[in-house]
Amino acid sequence: MVSEKRKQYLDDYMDTRKRINISLSAPDFEKISYLAELNQTKPTSYITAMVQHQLTKTPFTSKALTDDIKEMKFLLRNIATNINQLTHRSNTLKVLVDERGLLLELQKLEEGITAYIHKDVNS
If DSSP states are collapsed to H, E and C, what string results for the chain?
CHHHHHHHHHHHHHHHCCCCCCCCCHHHHHHHHHHHHHCCCCHHHHHHHHHHHHHHCCCCCCHHHHHHHHHHHHHHHHHHHHHHHHHHHHHHHCCCCCHHHHHHHHHHHHHHHHHHHHHHHHC
- pLDDT, position 99: 67
- pLDDT, position 121: 53
Assess if residue 98 is contained within a domain: yes
Do 43 and 85 lie in one domain? The reply is: no
Assess if residue 44 is contained within a domain: yes
Mean of pLDDT values over 84-94 = 76
pLDDT exceeds cutoff 80 at 116: no
What burial letters (b/e) apply to 18-45, b meaning 16+ CB within 10 Å?
eeeeeeeeeeeeeebeebbeebeeebee
Do 72 and 117 lie in one domain? The reply is: yes
Do 53 and 89 lie in one domain? The reply is: no
9-46 pLDDT tens trace = 888 888 888 888 889 999 999 999 999 998 889 999 99
- pLDDT, position 98: 65
The answer to whether residues 109 and 79 touch, using CB atoms and an 8 Å cutoff, is yes
What whole-number distance in Å separates Cα of residue 123 and Cα of residue 35? Answer: 12
Do 46 and 86 lie in one domain? The reply is: no
Mean of pLDDT values over 114-118 = 74
- pLDDT, position 81: 83
| Structural domain total, the chain | 2
pTM of the model: 0.46
